[in-house]
Structure 1
Amino acid sequence: MTTVDRGTGRSTRGQWQQRGEQVWPPSSLLGGLPPASRDRLLALGALTRYPADRVLMREAEQTDFVLILLDGVVKVTGRTHDNREALLAVRMGGDLVGELAAMDGRPRSATVTTCGPVAARAVTRGDFLDCTRRDPHTAQAVSESIVTKLRVANSHRIDFTGCDVPTRLARVLHQIAVTYGEPAGRGAVIRWPITQPELATLSGAAEPTVHKALRGLRTRGVVSTGYRTIRVQDLALLRDIAFS
């Protein structure tokens, strides 16, 4: 992950947890762990590198390993009742994926696919559960990570019934920018490919409606889009649109 604020040129290492050359946002599992617990967790499993568009876990399959994401972006998708693919979430370096199946031994609840090159540590269920039993900091961090994901999911359900599409889109972009964006002046840059159909599924709206809402944000100077990137020009303004 980048360690320089591209808006100011200043180092952002003080805001991110790091191990060697790797840094993770403080809101992520790895970024929030104490150094000793983080090193203990990162000693598990094997370092594995995956190319873009590789399915790492598939919905309904009976596997129970865990992936500790070190670098890169993955998308989490599920199948709707009419067999469409819906984007449920995105995860980046510092996050954990696959923990639900490891915790309860049930089939995978979603499909996880790389959005570009990804580095991760692949950890068996036994080693993962043993680590959480032995290290209370890790156990607490995993629990908090699961709770955070549930809160976001609940918030999305509420948004779908109580907000218009521009507000829902603003909330989705704000959450992604705050959690995963690179700081850039008053805003942040999302440096991974998220398509308008994927933004539509995250916002719970039709693609043409999201396209219109995104165009409105661009016209107001809140966001700009480029090749494989979305730049939030002013996070405070986006927050006001999302939550006012």
Structure 2
Amino acid sequence: MDAGRSSRGRAGRLRETWAWPTTSLLGGLGEAARERLLEAGVPVRHPAERILMRESDRTDFVLILLDGVVKATGRTEDGRDALLAVRMGGDLVGELAALDASPRSATVTTVGPVAARRLTRAEFLGCVRRDARLADAVNRSIVAKLRTANTHRVNFTGCDVATRLARVLHHLTMTYGERVGAGAVIHWPITQPELATLCGAAEPSVHKALRRLRALGAVSTGYRSIRVEDLALLHSVAYPEP
């Protein structure tokens, strides 16, 4: 399996094999275990803005993302959609419902075109039971998601909105961004309301914090897009020296 193609072609074609990030499930697996996993299920492709899983539904299939981006959202008590997480090529989606047969905990929607493999619950559990290395990788993937969620909560304690926003952008950049010179590009559209839910702040406060980051030269913004111009500067705002 050729995993050496690390960028899309000029036409933006989806890849089914590339150098997945080592922090992802596929990127962290050995080649043999990865190939065994990718033999399971069926290949699927979805267009942008397609709901793949819906919160509270009792579906239990699993998606192995090969390329593209999805977002996980949850419904708040006042009826808003809160952005909970972003997942990209190499990541596993929907494993909790497959493992415990409980309703979906979030709605998963494609941000752009997505290529994946879809496994039934039986196929996914069979893979995990037959392959100890894969089971260990899935467990570590789940633990990593829980640790990220805990860190997210701790990092926001006692912080103002500008600091919280800087920390969210820094995390997204380090996890999903592509380094370009002193900065980085986040290759998927994120709206300011979505940033507000990630920061746990009102939209006007996020607008003000973004203006501050732009004025400092840390980021630039466009229509549904954010570019980090100076990653070191953004880090200094996110994690100021005591």
Q: Normalised by the size of structure 2, how large is the TM-score?
A: 0.90
Q: Which amino acid aligns with 1:187?
A: G
Judging changes above 3 Å, is the alpha-carbon distance between structure 1 residues 47 and 20 closer, same or farther for their aligned structure 2 residues?
A: closer
Consecutive unaligned residues in structure 1, runs of 5 or more: 5-18
C-alpha distance after superposition, 1:119-138 (max 9, x if no partner):
11001111111111222221
Q: d(CA) in 1 for partners of 2:208 and 2:234?
A: 16
Percent pairwise identity: 69
Q: Does 1:131 align with 2:131?
A: no
Q: d(CA) in 2 for partners of 1:154 and 1:49?
A: 32
Q: d(CA) in 2 for partners of 1:38 and 1:21?
A: 11
C-alpha distance after superposition, 1:176-197 (max 9, x if no partner):
1111111211221001110000
Q: Which amino acid aligns with 2:66?
A: L
Judging changes above 3 Å, is the alpha-carbon distance between structure 1 residues 20 and 92 closer, same or farther for their aligned structure 2 residues?
A: closer
Residue aligning to 1:80: 76
C-alpha distance after superposition, 1:131-157 (max 9, x if no partner):
112222211111111111111211222
| Equivalent pair of 1:67/1:123 in contact (CA under 8 Å) | yes
Residue aligning to 1:144: 140
Judging changes above 3 Å, is the alpha-carbon distance between structure 1 residues 203 and 220 closer, same or farther for their aligned structure 2 residues?
A: same
Q: Residues 158-173 of structure 1: matches in 2 within 5 Å?
A: 158-173=154-169
Judging changes above 3 Å, is the alpha-carbon distance between structure 1 residues 174 and 225 closer, same or farther for their aligned structure 2 residues?
A: same
Task: Tell me the C-alpha RMSD between the 2 structures.
Answer: 1.8
Residue aligning to 2:41: 45
Q: d(CA) in 1 for partners of 2:6 and 2:24?
A: 16
Q: Which amino acid aligns with 1:202?
A: L
Judging changes above 3 Å, is the alpha-carbon distance between structure 1 residues 20 and 103 closer, same or farther for their aligned structure 2 residues?
A: closer
Q: d(CA) in 2 for partners of 1:35 and 1:116?
A: 27
Q: d(CA) in 1 for partners of 2:16 and 2:81?
A: 37
Q: d(CA) in 2 for partners of 1:56 and 1:217?
A: 34
Q: d(CA) in 2 for partners of 1:29 and 1:235?
A: 26
Consecutive unaligned residues in structure 2, runs of 5 or more: 8-14
Q: Normalised by the size of structure 1, how large is the TM-score?
A: 0.89
C-alpha distance after superposition, 1:168-213 (max 9, x if no partner):
1111111111111112112210011100000000010001111111
Q: d(CA) in 1 for partners of 2:16 and 2:52?
A: 26
**Which segment is superposed worse, 193-202 or 233-242?**
233-242
| Equivalent pair of 2:5/2:17 in contact (CA under 8 Å) | no
Q: CA deviation at 1:228?
A: 4.2
| Equivalent pair of 1:2/1:182 in contact (CA under 8 Å) | no
Number of aligned residues: 230
